[in-house]
Amino acid sequence: MKRLAIATLLAATALASPASGADKPLDAKGTWSVTTRGSAPLPPMGWNSWNAFGTDIDEEKVIASAQLIVDSGLAAKGYRYVNIDDGWWAKRRQADGRVLIRTDNFPSARTADGNTSFRPFTDRLHAMGLKAGIYSEIGRNSCGQIYGDPKGPGQPAGTITEREIGLYGHIDQDIALYFGEWNFDYIKVDGCGIRALAADSPQVKSGRLRALDPLIDYDTIPRTNIPAVKALFDQVGEALSRNKPGNDFVLSICLWGSADVRSWARTLGNLSRTSEDISPNWERMLHNLDSASRRELYAKPNSWNDPDMLFIGSGEFDDAHLTEARSHMSLWAMLNAPLIIGFDLRKASPAMMGVLGNAQVIALNQDAAAHQAVLAYDGDSVQIFTKTLADGSKAVALFNRTGSPIDVKLIASHLKYRADQPITLTDLWDGGTQSFTSEMPVHLERHQTLLFKASGTRERAQGLYLSEQPGNVNPAVDGIVHPMADPMVYRGLLPWRSTKADGEHPVYGGWGGARADATPFAQTPKIAGRTYHNAIGTLANSRLEVRNTGFSSFTTLAGIDDSVADPAVRVRFSVHADGKLLKQTGWMKPGDSPATIAVPVKGARIVELVAEGNRPEMQTVAVDWAEAALDR
């Protein structure tokens, strides 16, 4: 394992550090590197069986849920994907490697030749105007097999190899079956099988499952074999492209923020899970929220952050907790998270259907501008999220994380609106309107989120700060060399672990990446003693791709953030348009005043911002593109 860790470290360094030759990662490419595979221009919406039924799924439950989605009007509001999760398989036939379906639970899958087929099932969903989703696993064995009850429902049967129903060793075959033959539209691919089956694991020691040397060390980030994990998912992406050449599919990568998935998911998958599973309690919702809320620059059309499914309707988000249910829905909408219902809709009350079906809130999630909300105020008690909408207005969510009422103030600069002009707010839950100038006091009840659509006069009259349009800013190279655990994620008690360990420690390789209006390490950007509230913060040895949606000029004040203490650090900044160098600064040192850059970009599709350091590894060197903006 020591040799594996060293090899992994070297491979990660090679991927992230400046290289020789034509493939230097800091060289301007003139391209947008977010994947074009798959079809998720907006966050997918739908339903998944897991939170409601676990592995105890069957055709009747799934079709009944699908019918309720149609009959209730949720389908017309965008909930289109109906996804079966773990528990659908019978075994893998050893003669030819074909995965067989549990026909006792999915009777329409029976075939005369015994091959079984989901085609009647997907045809039925498609005839209802819906899309069909399936679950698989990148390793040999699914999460339900590894962590579930061996005698519980939905467990594959047969010999140890017949029960290996994951993609490992069968990627091309299984993807061809699921998408070519069975005509599914969506696949969620889990990663438990490449994480949890070391030789000393309980399942392996008992002889129930075969060992598979882990590629992911979930608790010790540097020991994960990042290139090997990515290579497996690359194969899935290539197989999907072959079997769905029209790109009419969604690939959901479920690696829970591990394996530095943040840095490469955008080149491959349409959704990327940012954390472990959500649970129907407030603490776990905070945990999952935090795993995605500071990754605003890592969510894009066709590749979204996924903090897991909605748990609205259950536990602390049920009818007795309407405030919490609305907060959950509001926050997922602001994050541009996939809106995937995880509830037995046969039990849904009118109030819960009203939360899930709020057209105004859904519209925030499905807004065509496709910008994940940015934290305008970030605290342990209160957070304020803002997002720029396609019609030029803003949305703002004021969120009370605590169990006590609290009084706060919304100020014009949170919205990047002028403080001397009126701002109008429309409440997206009760429809009320109010106006203020400069600042407004707001009272928040415990766990409450007030959600508004706001209109006012922008600070930047003829354009937008880059931090107002995170969906158009892609950290193609963010300067991270060795992924680091994220200390900002709320660490609540895990229901399935309780206190049978020494605590919940920071995990998820998400600390130190590019941020909007913050440094990579969650501080306010500051250069040469001056604070900047409009900035893109990143690391030295980074390259940002910026989509230009019709603007004529780019301006910024570029410099080394005051958090950098090493006097030997040097960074130079350059701006490129469609691969052509427009401006390059000289080498700058800590404490230098920022360099003023103003360049024409009319007609350019991609503007690239490069911060080049004077040595290969500069993971602690924060740099700021302060006041970075595109103007007409």
Please identify every residue annotated as catalytic. 190, 277
- E strand residue ranges, 57-124: 81-83, 89-92, 99-101
- How many beta carbons lie within 10 A of that of residue 176, not counting itself? 16
Could you give the CA distance from residue 419 to residue 380 in angstroms, rounded to a whole number? 26
For 567, list phi and psi in degrees, rounded to 5: -70, -15
Helix (H) or strand (E) holding 324: helix 322-334
Could you give the CA distance from residue 590 to residue 568 in angstroms, rounded to a whole number? 8
| DSSP code for 178 | I
User: Do the Cβ atoms of 588 and 625 come closer than 8 Å?
Assistant: no
SS3 for 537? Answer: strand
Amino acid at 391: D
Parallel, antiparallel, or unpaired: how do β-strands 45-48 and 81-83 relate?
parallel
- How many beta carbons lie within 10 A of that of residue 505, not counting itself? 10
In 3D, which of 56, 201, 87, 209 has the Cα closest to residue 139?
209
Could you give the CA distance from residue 115 to residue 44 in angstroms, rounded to a whole number? 31
Amino acid at 456: G
467-485: burial string, b at 16+ Cβ within 10 Å, e else:
bbbbbbbbbbbbbbbbbbb
Q: What is the DSSP string of 253-274?
A: EE-TT-TTHHHHGGGT-SEEE-
Could you give the CA distance from residue 175 to residue 3 in angstroms, rounded to a whole number? 33
For 124, list phi and psi in degrees, rounded to 5: -65, -45
Tokens 């990446």, located at residue? 513
CA 612 to chain centre: 27
Contacts of residues 237-240 at CB distance under 8 Å and 24 or more positions apart, as own/partner, are 237/35, 237/37, 237/268, 237/269, 239/171, 239/172, 239/175, 239/176, 240/37, 240/38, 240/175, 240/179, 240/187
Could you give the CA distance from residue 544 to residue 608 in angstroms, rounded to a whole number? 5
User: Do the Cβ atoms of 171 and 235 come closer than 8 Å?
Assistant: yes
